[in-house]
Amino acid sequence: MRLPVHSKTAFNPPSVPREENLARQIRTPSESRPVPDSVPEASTGFPATHRPRTRADAERRYLGRTMNKAAAIAPSPNSGVLPEVFSFLDHRDFLREWFDAKRKGSRAFSYRTFARKAGFASHAFLSEVIQGRRNLSMDSAEKCVTALGLAGDAVRYFLLLVQYGQETHPEKRRDHLADLLRLQATRSVERVGGGKSEYFAHWIHMAVRELAVLSGLDAKGIAAILRPPSTPAEVGASLELLEKLELLRRGADGSWEYSFPRLTPGDVDPVVLRTLKRQMILLAQDRLAEAESTDTHISSLTVSVSRRRISRIREILDRTRRELLAETAADEDPADQVLQINFQLFPLSESLERYRSRHA
């Protein structure tokens, strides 16, 4: 059954034969509370105190809030739980908290112990770095990695953290921060499911969530730029849902902020996810009827591959999806548009191996 994506009723998930357990539909416009016209700037739709921000700025606001929250719920003094390097934007803060946690776990651990493990001649080396009296060279930072017990992406993140903290050139600092945010984007993903599964019931929630944070527009302004078009009441109902599900929150200045910048399905009914994917595919299909534009790219590729190569192609698609998330996380230019990027991989024939085994 085709989803009429351009009609008003497209706001509700479609009925699909043999798939009756869809997530509860969000309220229709007639059931929604009126959306107040609280923004006087009818010409722009932007509140006077808020203009479009960059994605990187939104990521930094989230990361700063995360670090504050982590400090507020820090482990008890006797827990000895080591902090995660990805929660920091200052290598000295990380080293200080790591050392304090290590000491709480074992009173025998000391600066001398750390120096011995890292291969430093001076037992006071780490103390001087933490206090800002000494910088870390890349060679010294790599020695610290060994003593810290870091591995994988944590090593790369720590080395970038050192470069970012000690760099004095503004543009180079910005580049290092962008790299840190890219690594953050590959890890800081919140799994959404259970009582929050309603988020995946309709495409509009994804679009509204992005526009609410990055545009500064109210419900009326968001409705005016959504494609396909929606009404202020529909957008208002979506904003209410996002706030109720704690996927959006109000910042100190009253603007919308991400509760989590990146979301992925957790314990969600597969029927709900299939319906959402169907909606996204149909939205792409409708774009084929419109003239080509610079903000749309629809292409396809038909290939023959071995069974082993299929797994490799899936890995490439997964990696590309993560890289796109990382690139947008480090975007320092003002947000201008919300895009949907679909990935489809499906067979146009049966496997020859299975076919031959069946007819052997």
Q: What residue segments make up the domains of the chain, in order of their start?
A: 74-185
Per-residue pLDDT, 28: 32
- pLDDT for 20: 33
The amino acid sitting at 116 is R
Which residue has 């939205």 as its token pair? 283
* Phi, psi torsion values for 16, nearest 5 degrees: -120, 125
pLDDT for 216 beyond 70: yes
Q: Is residue 108 helix, strand or coil?
A: coil
Structure confidence at residue 97 (pLDDT): 93
Least confident of 31-45, 83-97, 300-314: 31-45
Whether residue 246 contacts residue 262, with contact meaning beta carbons closer than 8 Å, is answered with no
**pLDDT tens digits for 306-343?**
988 999 999 999 888 878 877 777 777 888 899 999 99
Would you state the pLDDT for residue 46? 41
pLDDT in tens, 57-91: 666 666 555 444 444 334 443 445 888 898 888 99
- Contact assessment for residue 83 and residue 101, using Cβ atoms and an 8 Å cutoff: yes
DSSP 221-250: HHHHH-SS---HHHHHHHHHHHHHTTSEEE
Whether the pLDDT of residue 14 is over 70: the answer is no
Average pLDDT over residues 278-290: 92
Determine the pLDDT at residue 13: 38
Residues ≥6 apart with Cβ < 8 Å to 321? 341, 343
Residue 170 pLDDT greater than 50, yes or no: yes
Q: What is the pLDDT of residue 249?
A: 92
At 191 the three-state DSSP class reads: strand
| DSSP β-bridge partners for residue 257 | 249
Amino acid at 43: S
End-to-end CA distance of the chain: 39
Name the nearest CA neighbour of 283 among 212, 347, 215, 230.
230
* Token digits of residue 65: 């809030």
Is the pLDDT score of 224 beyond 70?
yes
- Whole-angstrom distance, CA of residue 161 vs CA of residue 167: 10
| pLDDT for res 60 | 61
Quick one: what percent of the chain has pLDDT higher than 70? 76
> Residue 16: is its pLDDT beyond 60?
no
For residues 134 and 128, the answer to whether their CB atoms sit within 8 Å is yes
Q: What is the largest CA-CA distance in the chain?
A: 76
At 260, the pLDDT band (50, 70, 90 cuts) reads: confident
DSSP conformation class of 284: H
Q: Are 248 and 257 in contact (CB under 8 A)?
A: yes
Tokens representing residue 164 in the block: 């970012």
Sign of CA dihedral 114, 119, 123, 128: negative
Q: How confident is the model at residue 23 (pLDDT cuts 50, 70, 90)?
A: very low
Separation between Cα atoms, residue 217 and residue 261, nearest integer Å: 18
What are the tens digits of pLDDT across the range 285-301? Answer: 999 888 888 999 999 99
